Amino acid sequence: MLRTLAAIVAAAGLACAAAPAAEQTHTIPPEVTVAGLLVGGLSAEPARTAIEAAFARPITVVYGNRQSTIDPAQLRARIDIDAALGSALTATPRSAIALPVAYSQARAARVVAALAQRVDRPALAPRVTGATAAGPEFTPAKPGLAVDVQAMQAALGQLLGDGTRAPLQLLTRPVPAQRTIANFGPVIVVTRATNTLRLYDGHKLVRTFPVATGQAIYPTPAGVWRIKDKQRDPWWYPPTYDAWAKGLKPVPPGPSNPLGTRWMGLNAPGVGIHGTDAPTSIGYSASHGCIRMHVPDAEWLFEHVRVGTPVVIL
């Protein structure tokens, strides 16, 4: 009887030793997320696969009706998935685990610069379109647009660690126009009917001068022009294309120079604002198309305008 019991016990022990132990699978606690992805209830390898797949998805940058995609590989991005999984497996339920991400700041800067090249637009300064008796008329200044480079680089870094890959709205900032109507600077308005020249600072009238404008046969050209060159003590050269100047010779600087002491040439061919050696012509339509001024007036105006100053001739 004792032998039989001992044999039974021994046999049972051998049977227990021979049976394989049940496998224990370690899963992530419930409702744990990594980089916004729900991985609770998954074991390590399925969670790894899900996280890697989410990380590999491109980032979508949206601006208006346009969008661009950025592959994480463009930024040389890499993740420490082992660290994230280790934290997830030991986390308490409903924990949110961050995904450690490293990437190339230089690559991110190049990617953002490429976006900026497509999106940036400069501010538009006002432009003189004409004039009335009240003064010059302008188009309004328009602000430009620029990608906020630093904010976009930071946003890309943050989004790399977000497995949900929500679209990223392009971060921009307005670029104000440096030149406005208020600080536009000098504008000249010449009125042929009254033989006057008015100098404005934007909309503000600065000074009015009597001038001589072109004869009926040689009219001063109406339109919006600009000063293209300025000369002190200029030479006068007879225009080769006008019959009235045939046979005349160049005149050096001096009291008999038809241009006086200052020349402000316009981009209207052959036309300029200048002094004169014929002051009695001022106030009349007497020139060959240019705008004559008293010599002291031309010298004063010369100091208050610049190359590029708009000239409206009415």
Give the whole-angstrom CA distance, residue 223 versus residue 84.
71
Cβ neighbours of residue 155 closer than 8 Å, sequence gap 6 or more:
168, 171
Tokens of residue 172, six digits: 């921009």
Closest CA to 259 of 283, 239, 233, 241: 233
Asked if 103 contacts 75 with a C-beta cutoff of 8 angstroms, the reply is yes
CB 30 within 8 A of CB 39: no
Q: Is residue 304 annotated as a catalytic residue, yes or no?
A: no
Active site residue 290: yes
- Kindly name the residue from 16, 26, 203, 274 that is annotated as catalytic: 274
Q: Among candidates 155, 150, 139, 141, which has minimal Cα distance to 173?
A: 150
> What tokens were used for 309?
């100053």
175: three-class secondary structure by DSSP? strand
Selecting among 16, 26, 288, 290, the annotated active-site residue is 290
How many H-runs (helices) and E-runs (strands) does the chain carry?
A: 6, 22
Quote the tokens at residue 242.
């006008």
Which residues are part of the catalytic machinery?
A: 274, 290
